[in-house]
Homo-oligomer: A and B are copies of this chain.
Amino acid sequence: MNRSRLEPLGVPGSDYRYARDAGESRQPGALDRWLARQITAKLGDAAPVRLALWDEPDVTPRDGSIVVRVLDRKALWQLVVNPELHFGDLYSAGRLEVRGDLLTLLGYAYNSLDEQPSLSRWLAHARRLAAPDLSESKRNIHHHYDIGNDFYKLWLDREALQYTCAYYASPDMTIEQAQQAKMHHVARKLRLQPGERVVEAGSGWGGFAIFMAQNYGVQVRSFNISHEQVVYARDWAKRLGLDGRVEFVEDDYRNLTGQYDAFVSIGMLEHVGAGNYRQLGALMSRAIKKDGRGLVHSIGRDKPAPLNPWIDKRIFPGAYPPTLREMMELFEPNGLSVLDVENIRLHYAKTLEHWLERFEQNVDAVRAMFDEAFVRAWRLYLTGSIAAFIHGKLQLFQVLFARSAENSIPWTRAHVYEGR
């Protein structure tokens, strides 16, 4: 598979540029207007969305309605042919404007288009089910996570740099509080005890590994294939004097060895590929001691569907959110017992709202780092993800497990909620 085109948006290699003023088109004709109506008709009669063309520069939406304005004829045709793929590119390039609330528009889109996945989406899906090999995984991860630590620091929580769903124990928490609460929530589910050894698959910037060592007195070994993240995480641990207790290994989770009291993976399964679940589950089963515990935290689905093709192409190449049924391939063949599943979908919508808010507060800095097309692409991605979680197109599952027939499991889940 040729992934060379899939460089991060707005950095060298990007195959499109912000081009709001690009191209003059002839005046729209009857065919153009008919096509425009076909596009909005797909959103359903109830959606107060109108598609305006390049001859209406000053159109404004009224009473909460939304106007999508297409700035050239080619953009219109691309939108007709494959809206799910091209909407994102056209929006990012400024060849398509949204006047009115973007989140509301994307909500209508999720509730209509997603019901009729195109052939190209299912072809992409078949690819997702295949198991990426090590070098492909590395390219995919590099694409998303290595575009610059400074960029993510502009809008993630400032304490733990968590680029995964937070847990709002109460809905009025800040993003900082909610990410701390998420880490406590996971650590409590795992019943981490001082002196225990934990292995983590997927470190991010090291925030959770460092948190566990600091707050639960455990020894952590954490695997990550993103070079920039590993360098960052090692430096962070060292500055805190924790480098003796938290080890960051720049390697694929598939090379994990040893036995631990707990296995944890937050936001990595999405990148594993469904074809690798059985193998990952076997590894999880080997990685925990007889009385070990494990937790997998992952974006998921209520029913199987491929990832949105634009997200797949521009944002998260190779990502796939599984259904709970698909996730069972981790546990069922590998002598593992599922103890607890929690779906915190709405917490991811709120997490993304907080991220988007901070992204917009720092948008000038982002633009200075990259360009306007990058800004628009990430605005669309974050807003679209909020819509996906609000409209139930994506779920967030935390699955706690132990070995089958292991009886040192907690008697109830009350300990997770005590004193909080």
A332→B342 contact, CB < 8 A: no
Establish whether residues B302 and A404, one from each chain, have CB atoms under 8 Å apart when the complex forms. yes
Per the bound structure, the CA–CA distance linking A413 and B413 in Å amounts to: 10
Q: Give a binary string over A164-180; 1 marks a CB under 8 Å from any B CB, 0 the rest.
A: 00011101000000000
Question: B392 touching A337 by the CB < 8 A rule?
Answer: yes
Residue A346 contacts which of B304, B323, B392, B409 (CB distance < 8 angstroms)? B409
Contact bitstring A332-353, B, C-beta under 8 A = 1, else 0 = 1101111111111110000000
Q: How many copies of this protein are present in the complex?
A: 2
Q: Please provide the chain A residues from 378 to 420 with a CB less than 8 Å away from any CB of chain B in the complex.
A: 390-393, 395, 404-407, 409, 411-414, 417-418, 420
Q: A33 near B: Cβ within 8 Å?
A: no
Chain B residues with CB under 8 A of A343: 337-340
Q: How large is the interface on A (under 10, 10 to 19, 20 to 34, 35 or more residues)?
A: 35 or more
The answer to whether A392 and B411 touch across the interface, beta carbons within 8 angstroms, is no
- Closest residue of chain B to A410 (Cβ to Cβ) is B346
Check B169 against A346 for contact (C-beta < 8 Å).
Answer: no
CB pair A392 B413 closer than 8 Å: no
Point out which of A344, A345, A412, A417 has the most chain B C-beta atoms below 10 A from its C-beta: A412
Find the residue from A336, A339, A406 having the highest chain B CB count within 10 A: A339
Alpha-carbon gap, A328 to B338, bound state (A): 14
A405 and B417: CB pair below 8 A?
A: no
In the complex, chain B residues whose CB is within 8 Å of the CB of A325: 325, 328-329, 332
CB distance from A298 to the nearest CB of B (A): 14
Partner of A417, one of B302, B406, B409, B417: B417
Q: Which of B168, B346, B392 meets A404, CB within 8 Å?
A: B392
Give which listed residue, B167, B169, B333, B339, contacts A303 with CB less than 8 A: B333
> Which of A302, A343, A395 is the most central at the interface, judged by chain B CB atoms within 10 Å of its CB?
A302
Residues from chain B with a CB closer than 8 A to the CB of A323 are 328, 332
Whether B420 and A414, one on each chain, are in contact in the complex, defined by CB atoms closer than 8 angstroms, is: yes
With a cutoff of 8 Å between Cβ atoms, the chain B residues found around residue A337 in the complex are 302, 343, 345, 392, 395
* Residues of A near any B CB (own CB < 8 A): 111, 167-169, 171, 302-304, 323-325, 328-329, 331-333, 335-346, 390-393, 395, 404-407, 409, 411-414, 417-418, 420
Question: 14 more A-B contacts (CB under 8 A) besides A303-B332, A303-B404?
Answer: A168-B411, A168-B412, A302-B331, A302-B335, A303-B333, A323-B328, A324-B332, A324-B338, A328-B328, A337-B395, A338-B343, A346-B409, A413-B413, A413-B417
A-B contact pairs, 5 of them (CB 8 A): A302-B335, A304-B332, A337-B343, A346-B411, A392-B404
